[in-house]
Amino acid sequence: MRVSFQVNGAQESVDDVWEGESLLYMLRERMGLPGSKNACEQGECGSCTIYLDGIPACSCLVAAGQVHGRSVRTVEGLAQGDMLDPVQQAFVDAGAVQCGFCTPGLLVQTHDLIDRIPDPSDVEIREALSGNLCRCTGYEKILDAVYLAVERKDAIK
Ligand code: FES
Ligand code: FES
């Protein structure tokens, strides 16, 4: 089947999508968008989080055919050209990236959190990120990055 949808602001079509293909697979293997990571493929880790019609979703749990006519924004779509999004920059500046496997999902979730709740409490941050698992850190640097991003929120698009 052919799937046509908007991804990171551009209209795209992908041919020969098979029924069981996930959105994550289509993005990574067919569309040159490997930012979303495939860590568990079971909806458990959040590494594959993207925006689907403006709402975060695990792309490993979305069938590629389901996005026909819809809008997807991936972690690649957070940056403005060569300029990192302030959330991305905050993760770099806070040293919140080790292997980086969890990072794309955390970036999208943090971006969404600050969009919904500009001044989140500690509990709201922990709840928002509770579905995103990091295998590398004790999460402190990640929380530092989120607070840094909150400080810089006026620049987030
Ligand atoms: S790869 Fe999708 S939730 Fe883990
Ligand atoms: S930085 Fe390695 S899984 Fe989070």
Residue found by looking up tokens 């568990």 in the block: 40
- pTM comes to 0.95
User: CB atoms < 10 A from the CB of 84, how many?
Assistant: 16
Which pLDDT score is estimated for 156? 65
90 lies in which domain range? Answer: 86-155
The 3-state DSSP class for residue 150 equals helix
Report the C-alpha gap between 99 and 92 in whole angstroms.
12
Last residue in a domain, options 27, 49, 78: 78
Does the C-beta of 87 come closer than 6 Å to ligand 1?
no
Cα-atom radius of gyration of the chain, to the nearest Å? 15
46 lines ligand 1 (CB under 6 A): yes
Q: Of the residues 49, 78, 107, which one is the last residue of a structural domain?
A: 78
* Domain harbouring 112, CATH code: 1.10.150.120
Q: Could you tell me if 101 and 38 lie in one domain? A: no
Binding-site residues, ligand 2, Cβ < 6 A = 97-103, 134-137
**In which residue are the tokens 């990571």 written?**
37
In a shared domain, residues 96 and 136: yes
The number of distinct structural domains making up the chain is: 2
* Ligand 1 near 132 CB (within 6 A): no
pLDDT by 10s per residue, the chain, length 157: 999 999 999 999 999 999 999 999 999 999 999 999 999 999 999 999 999 999 999 999 999 999 999 999 999 999 988 899 999 999 999 999 999 999 999 999 999 999 999 999 999 999 999 999 999 978 999 999 999 999 988 776 6
Beta bridge partners of 57: 50
